[in-house]
Chains A and B, each alone.
Chain A
Amino acid sequence: MAESVLLEVLLPVFFVLLITVGPWAASLIGTFFYQSSKKKKLLVREQGIGSNDNLTNLRNPIRSDDVKEFKMVWSSVVMSPSWFQQLLGGIMSLFGGQIDVYRGVVDWARREAQQRLREQVQQQGFDEVINVRMETSTLSRNRGGKDKTAGVEILVYGTAIKY
């Protein structure tokens, strides 16, 4: 008797809950724990660079000496807001004004892309990156005939130079 109740009632209920509540639970955990731990790691990497930030968007090198070597460099990151953030953003956009949840994601993506460019350039032994441009674009994903935003792509590019 007890076994049949378990099989016929509890198991289906369990699966229904897993399918409906599961992703949202994962989304909450992802938003508050996974994302913030990634952001903390990024902050540590940024502090490692310290005050000698080598990205500028000036056209010409600051120390306008002779440039020995140059190379065009770029890096890009695709970030996506979690379901929870999308829901929150949707609710907030009803009222208008600032939507901080989306700003957080885009800002994070931009910092990540910049940081990757800094690290890439440092590894290759360049001194500075000039003429840095940043570009943002959204990626859409087709779902049920409706285009939904899957994420935002940040591209950072510039010319790395060696004195």
Chain B
Amino acid sequence: MQPANNLIFSNTETIPGMTIVQSLGVVTGSTVRAKNVFKDIGAGFKNIVGGELKAYTELLQESRNEALFRMLNDAASRGANAVVNVRFATSSVAGGAAELLAYGTAVVAQ
């Protein structure tokens, strides 16, 4: 999923080649996703042998992209043109559901 706006984002504190003029505060984006039942059964079988659970890897990647997208939208609505120091956090909420959080500092950079 590509963000509609062309915001720059980076997990470094500065943006290479640009100077930060103004900080607009912390922006966050999060998603809570649960697996669909059929894929969960597949993962249950894969759990017997161990190794990578591809269904979960994909699920988390999709939702992380969405969390990031929401964070960027939040930043855009504040009038920022970049987000610096982006961090990810993950936690499992309840059986099978995972919360993905992306946060960073929205800035105006030139």
Complex Cα spacing A28 to B35, Å: 27
Per-residue contact bits, chain B 20-31, to A (CB 8 Å; 1 contact, 0 not): 000000000000
Shortest C-beta distance, A28 to chain B (Å), equals 9
B36 within 8 A of A: no
Return B82 CB to nearest CB of chain A, in Å: 11
CB of A77 within 8 A of CB of B88, answer: no
Report the minimum CB–CB distance from B11 to chain A (whole Å).
5
Whether A74 lies near B88 (C-beta < 8 A) is yes
- Contact status of A81 and B10, CB under 8 A, knowing A141-B44, A142-B96: no
Q: Could you say which residues of chain A place their CB within 8 Å of the CB of B61?
A: 76
A117 within 8 A of B: no
The interface size bin for chain B is 35 or more
| A34 nearest CB neighbor, chain B only | B49
* In the complex, chain A residues 62-113 whose Cβ is within 8 Å of any chain B Cβ: 66-67, 70, 72, 74, 76-85, 105, 109, 112
Interface size of A by Cβ–Cβ distance < 8 Å? Answer: 50
Q: Which residues of A contact B50 (CB under 8 A)?
A: 27, 30-31, 34-35, 79-85, 105
In terms of DSSP, what is the predominant structure of the interface of chain B? Answer: mixed
Q: Which residues from B are CB-within-8-Å of A34?
A: 49-51
Which of A61, A150, A159, A161 lies in contact with B47, CB distance below 8 A?
Answer: A150
Give every chain A residue within 8 A of B78 (Cβ-Cβ). none
Which residues of chain B come closer than 8 Å to A67, judged between CB atoms?
16-17
Nearest CB of chain A from residue B92's CB, rounded to whole Å: 5
Q: Which residue of A lies closest to B15 (CB)?
A: A70
Q: In residues 2-21 of chain A, which contact B (Cβ within 8 Å)? A: none
Instruction: For the complex, give the distance between the alpha carbons of A153 and B98 in Å.
Output: 11
Can you give 23 contacting A-B residue pairs, CB < 8 Å?
A: A27-B50, A30-B48, A31-B50, A35-B49, A60-B12, A61-B16, A66-B17, A72-B86, A74-B64, A74-B88, A76-B57, A76-B61, A78-B56, A79-B50, A79-B51, A80-B46, A80-B52, A83-B47, A85-B50, A105-B50, A131-B12, A138-B92, A147-B95
A residues contacting B by CB (< 8 A) are: 23, 26-27, 29-31, 34-35, 38, 59-61, 66-67, 70, 72, 74, 76-85, 105, 109, 112, 130-131, 133, 135, 137-143, 147, 150-151, 153, 155, 157-159, 161
Q: Closest 10 CB pairs between A and B?
A: A142-B95, A30-B49, A82-B50, A67-B16, A78-B56, A137-B90, A78-B53, A78-B57, A140-B92, A159-B10
